[in-house]
């Protein structure tokens, strides 16, 4: 990822001011700063939720500055949000099945999370591999609401892993917020294992111990 002089304002408030930075392939790169410094707004500009007033964003040498969020996702960028994006009433496996299904609107409206068809693209095998990778196989049939928050965060990472096409760059917004140290260590281990497989990470985080030890 290559960010050139990114600028975004809201009325008279400049939230992101002429920011440049690179994200090298197969790296874990941290984006740090105090609350209100514009980190999440930067993510919103990188992923098409906001259009910056100035600056350009390139992914794999292709400019993505003016693309919509769905178009950016289809290029291989996966993003998490500060509020965990899981379905609490569904089971762990149902959440992953939902993540693996096609996202065409008509297909989704005809489907139900308990009866989804993910036979295309090796869907069931991918779900099983992610369950095993995350260490969540033992709770596959548990409602997500009953899981500790750390496991919910890890499940969210698994949902991103099941995007189609397979993500190359993960943008994670405060993935360690609310986690105990052993849960942070587990999450970091998963990130490092994915990085060893060729994935790249850009992480917004306030946990300086975790971020300084990883980036």
> Cβ contacts of residue 34 below 8 Å, gap of 6+?
none
How far is residue 31's CA from residue 33's CA, in Å, rounded to a whole number? 7
Which segments within the chain are labelled E, that is strand?
2-10, 13-22, 28-31, 54-59, 62-63, 77-79, 169-173, 200-204
Write down the pTM of the prediction: 0.89
Cβ contact 57:6 at 8 Å: yes
* pLDDT tens-digit map of 173-185: 999 999 999 999 9
* pLDDT tens-digit map of 1-49: 999 999 999 998 999 999 999 999 999 999 999 999 999 999 999 999 9
């Amino acid at each position: 990822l290559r960010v050139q002089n990114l600028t975004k304002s809201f009325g008279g408030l400049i939230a992101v001011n002429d920011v440049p930075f690179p994200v090298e392939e197969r790296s874990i790169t941290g984006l740090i700063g105090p609350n209100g410094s514009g980190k999440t707004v930067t993510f919103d500009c990188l992923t098409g939720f906001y259009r910056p007033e100035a600056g350009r964003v390139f992914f794999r040498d292709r400019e993505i500055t003016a693309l919509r969020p769905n178009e950016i996702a289809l290029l291989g960028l996966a993003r998490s949000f500060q509020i965990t994006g899981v379905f609490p009433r569904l089971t762990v496996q149902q959440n992953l099945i939902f993540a693996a299904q096609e996202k065409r609107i008509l297909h989704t409206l005809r489907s139900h999370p308990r009866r989804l068809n993910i036979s295309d693209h090796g869907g069931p095998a991918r779900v099983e591999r992610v369950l095993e990778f995350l260490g969540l196989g033992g709770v596959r049939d548990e409602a997500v609401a009953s899981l500790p928050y750390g496991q919910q965060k890890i499940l969210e990472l698994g949902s991103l892993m099941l995007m189609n096409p397979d993500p190359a760059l993960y943008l994670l917004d405060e993935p360690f917020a609310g986690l105990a140290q052993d849960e942070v260590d587990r999450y970091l281990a998963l990130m490092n294992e994915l990085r060893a497989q060729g994935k790249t990470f850009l992480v917004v985080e306030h946990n300086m111990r975790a971020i300084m030890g990883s980036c």
